[in-house]
Amino acid sequence: MKIAVFSTKPYDQEYFERYNEKSNFAFTYFETPLNHHTANLTSGYQAVCIFVNDKVDSNAIRILFKNGVRLIALRCAGYNNVDMEAAKEYGIKVVRVPAYSPEAVAEHAIALILTLNRKTHKAYNRIRESNFSLNKLIGFNLHGKTVGVIGTGKIGTAFCKISRGFGCKIIAFDKYESDEVINLGGEYKSLVDVFKESDIISLHCPLNPETKHMINEQSLSMMKNGIMIINTSRGALIDTADIIKGLANKKIGYLGIDVYEQEENLFFKDLSESIIEDDMILRLISFPNVLITSHQAYFTKEAMEEITHTTLENIRDFEKGEILKNEIA
């Protein structure tokens, strides 16, 4: 079976080649993302394997179908970048990796909190310049703080467990309450109450029409002054223009993001010798209380292994005509 892999980085190819022995699939790796401009590259392939910033809209799906593609295999959990109605119309199956390493993302969210709070990144740079001063490095105890968790799926629940270990009070919002979170001592509240009562808010929900730009000027106005906001989920959960205003007027005390609304033009690329034309990311970078990582929360050995194994299994099931347990209905 011939599979075209898009948005490929060296580590993607390394893991697929390492674990492809049993399947013996014929992978072709494209560094370019998949979209309606690049979909013609799929001629002669039965499946495509895509990642978070590939854009598979109705035009791309029409070309994929024409070229003989019958399976879209996402090597990630989110699928907001795929036009599911168009895929159903053309009879193209879509599978995903629903969970790979919830702990990886949850731990990265905690790393953002600790780094922003205790300013270890700034201390590291100071010491390298022989500056041993503690001025402006003061943080706060996590113990006793109220952490608002929006979205308590596997990642959100893993995040709650770690936060409880620090002695934080957990309040949460999700349409579907988790017994595990409740047993940890977490309390479910309305979204408005989570906004109002939290010292730290961490986003772990999917992106859909209901959640897009849920962090905006209105929701920020409900929050405590100096709120810490962490986003390791999807960039468009945050209205970037409004978050910049919140940082400028000091409503937001700390912002840690591993995702960004326009990240497809930036993340996973080395732009160190380029002029970045995204004014909003440049504005965010300019704030001393903002920490940005480039979609690396998932990036652990364990997560890469799970993503690879599940993706290969999804493709094998399709090839054999078996039930696709990770199909997006």
- Classify burial at 312, counting beta carbons within 10 Å of its beta carbon; exposed 0-12, middle 13-18, buried 19 or more: buried
DSSP string, 26-53: EEEE-SSPPSTTTGGGGTT-SEEEE-TT
Two tokens, residue 220: 């920020």
Beta strand 93-95 pairing with 146-150:
unpaired
Catalytic residue among 108, 213, 234, 264: 234
Tokens representing residue 254 in the block: 């700390």
User: Helix H segments across 67-184?
Assistant: 84-90, 102-118, 120-128, 154-165, 179-183
The answer to whether residue 128 is catalytic is no
To which residue do tokens 């940890």 refer? 184
CA dist 17 and 131 (Å) reads 46
How far is residue 46 from each of residues 7, 54, 278, 305, 319, measured CA to CA in Å? 18, 18, 36, 24, 9
Choose the catalytic residue: 295, 302, 319, 327: 295
Q: 3-class SS at 56?
A: strand
Establish whether 319 is a catalytic residue.
no
Q: What is the torsional sign of CA 259, 265, 266, 268?
A: positive
Residue in 263, 273, 277, 305 annotated catalytic: 263
Whether the Cβ atoms of residue 77 and residue 310 lie closer than 8 Å to each other: no
Residue corresponding to tokens 């993340």: 267
Note whether 202 and 195 are within 8 A (CB): no
Is residue 46 within 8 A of residue 72, CB to CB? The reply is no
**Distances, alpha carbon 125 to alpha carbons 24, 117, 129, 224, 253, in Å:** 47, 16, 7, 30, 21
Question: Catalytic site residue 263?
Answer: yes
Supply the residues annotated as catalytic.
Answer: 234, 263, 295
